[in-house]
Amino acid sequence: MSLKKIYETSLALLTDLYQLTMAYGYWKHGMAEREAVFHLYFRKNPFQGGYTIAAGLEHAVEYLQQLRFQDEDLAYLGSLKGSQQTPLFEQGFLDYLRDLRFTCDVEAIPEGSVVFPGEPLIRVRGPLLQAQLVETPLLTIVNFQTLIATKAARIKEAAKGDQVIEFGMRRAQGIDGALAATRAAYVGGADATSNLLAGELYGIPVKGTHAHSWVQAFESESASFEAYGQAFPHDSVFLVDTYNTVEGVKNAIDVAQKLQLSGFTFNGIRLDSGDLTYLSKEARRLLDEAGFQETSIVASNDLNEHIITSLKQEGAKITVWGVGTQMVTAYDQPALGGVYKLAALRQEDDSWSYNIKLSEQLAKTSNPGIQQVRRFYDKNGYIADMIFNEAEPLPEQTTIVSPLDSTLRKAIPAGTAYQDLLVAIFVKGELVYKLPDMEAIRTHRTEELGKLHESIKRLLNPHSYPAGLEASFHQFKTELILELREKGEAAVTGQ
């Protein structure tokens, strides 16, 4: 497993302090084993887009499988002091953590799926203390990879079938950021990476060219191309913009013609600066005239989905896109903003108490209940998504209500085909889900996007996909909000 290969030490403390202080409080007050339900979801599609691509589940599964507090973890927790310079955690709690094993049920939406705001990507149900402890690591894994996978999907859609190579390791947010970003980019649609470690760990195809320093290390540009072509006679892409791009293309052609006599294959040239539309057209003309119609033109230079779209509209003759910084850093949106909220808690009489987090901002008011997502579809693709409470019966007539505007509703005719998106991952802590390989995840992502209307995939002002609450669930949530607000006002006024 890749996480274990990268991290030989325990990841039990990959969390925030307040997860441990809350866990201690639950233990102290005898609440640790009470059954609870949490949901991980996000509130808004990133990049002002119309959809999001779920990613990171495999790493989340690995983390949960390996969750153990080692002696060194407990020693560190035992060394922490409170404001009175006394131990923050008593020994009995540390002993409890030493014996802790993950026993929750986990359901999740498979990686590569298209998802929308408010939909639980992961549902954790089990002992309150355990379900609370995994909040931060699940968020750090799923938030980042989902964000990058979505960015990569947008870039791949903009490329319109052209090959996309992820070139971003040197600009990524550290080692973890580079590895997780490369994996997520591949899930989202990148076809290859320059990141060798990610290639080894995840089986991602690796590709690359050479740097300007290679050209500068020789007495002439032509000499550098000839040396590289001799080293890699069937895998050479020449970087042609070190000095003068058009002259660089001509030099590359001259070298390729010379090396052809020894069986050389001229795979491509790379443009890394300048007016990419003009230069790619000129390069294509020169290559074609020289008989190299099959030689690819690779472009890099701080590309993103909007620039790629613009270049294509201008008729640029680029066939391979090397995207680095803006893909792996999710440029223009640094975080997804996913959250993890308590939605149900088992009471002493075995009934469920449904929980909700109120906010003056409607988008930040959480959903109660034990939630599932039902996706309706027909022969043309996906129609709408409905979030509902599994613990309550569904009415015969299905109506979906927008969580942000109750006047926006969509009735679903009886008999409409559907699938429920959350699938079992762990049952009482035992893995029951067969993790798909990366190619299966990528195939799933392609199929998922193919079932979305083109208007939802637009980069600018995309159409909103209908995703909301089942009508009776929406009504229940509204009543619960009113009840809690009345209690709050009564407490404030002293009634």
pLDDT in tens, 427-454: 999 999 999 999 999 999 999 999 999 9
Clarify whether residues 198 and 238 are in a common domain.
yes
Percent of the chain with pLDDT over 70: 98
Clarify whether residues 40 and 125 are in a common domain.
yes
Clarify whether residues 272 and 350 are in a common domain.
no
Clarify whether residues 322 and 390 are in a common domain.
no
Among the listed residues 440, 460, 404, 421, the one whose alpha carbon sits nearest the alpha carbon of residue 109? 421
Residue 27 scores a pLDDT above 60: yes
- Residue 137 CB neighbour total at 10 angstroms: 21
For 274-310, write each residue's pLDDT tens digit: 999 999 999 999 999 999 999 999 999 999 999 999 9
Mean pLDDT, to the nearest integer, of 378-407?
94
Mean pLDDT, to the nearest integer, of 8-34?
95
Residue 116 scores a pLDDT above 70: yes
**409-412 sheet: strands from edge to edge:** 409-412, 398-401, 467-470, 381-389, 371-378, 417-420
Residue 495 scores a pLDDT above 70: no
In a domain, 96, yes or no: no
142 and 338 Cβ atoms separated by less than 8 Å: yes
- Residue 407 CB neighbour total at 10 angstroms: 6
Clarify whether residues 324 and 347 are in a common domain.
no
Residue 2 scores a pLDDT above 80: no
Of the pLDDT bands very low, low, confident and very high (cuts 50, 70, 90), residue 154 is: very high
Give the chain's mean pLDDT. Answer: 95
In a domain, 177, yes or no: yes
**Domain count of the chain?**
2
**Distance between CA atoms of 269 and 253, rounded to whole angstroms?**
10
Mean pLDDT, to the nearest integer, of 327-350?
95
Give pLDDT, residue 44: 96
Clarify whether residues 313 and 432 are in a common domain.
no
Mean pLDDT, to the nearest integer, of 95-113?
98
CATH number at 378 reads 3.20.140.10
Contacts 24+ apart (CB under 8 A), 292-297: 292/253, 292/256, 292/266, 295/256, 295/266, 295/267, 295/268, 295/269, 296/237, 296/267, 296/268, 296/269, 296/320, 297/268, 297/269, 297/270, 297/271
Clarify whether residues 315 and 407 are in a common domain.
no
Residue 38 scores a pLDDT above 50: yes
Give pLDDT, residue 490: 46
In a domain, 224, yes or no: yes
466 and 384 Cβ atoms separated by less than 8 Å: yes
Residue 108 scores a pLDDT above 90: yes
Least confident of 222-236, 242-256, 390-404: 390-404
Clarify whether residues 183 and 50 are in a common domain.
no
Clarify whether residues 200 and 303 are in a common domain.
yes
The residues, any chain, with a CB within 8 Å of residue 36's CB and separated by 6 or more, are: 125, 126, 127, 128, 131, 132, 342, 344, 345, 346
Clarify whether residues 345 and 320 are in a common domain.
no
Give pLDDT, residue 492: 38
- The last residue of a domain, from among 328, 346, 381: 328
Q: List for the chain the helix, strand, coil content (%; round to 5).
A: 40, 20, 40
For 190-204, write each residue's pLDDT tens digit: 999 999 999 999 999
Clarify whether residues 120 and 161 are in a common domain.
no
Mean pLDDT, to the nearest integer, of 123-143?
98
Among the listed residues 302, 314, 305, 366, the one whose alpha carbon sits nearest the alpha carbon of residue 49? 305
In a domain, 20, yes or no: no
Among the listed residues 472, 437, 427, 462, the one whose alpha carbon sits nearest the alpha carbon of residue 49? 462
Of the pLDDT bands very low, low, confident and very high (cuts 50, 70, 90), residue 1 is: low
Domain that holds residue 170: 149-328
Residue 105 scores a pLDDT above 50: yes
Residue 493 scores a pLDDT above 50: no
In a domain, 78, yes or no: no
Mean pLDDT, to the nearest integer, of 151-172?
97
Percent of the chain with pLDDT over 90: 92
Clarify whether residues 319 and 347 are in a common domain.
no
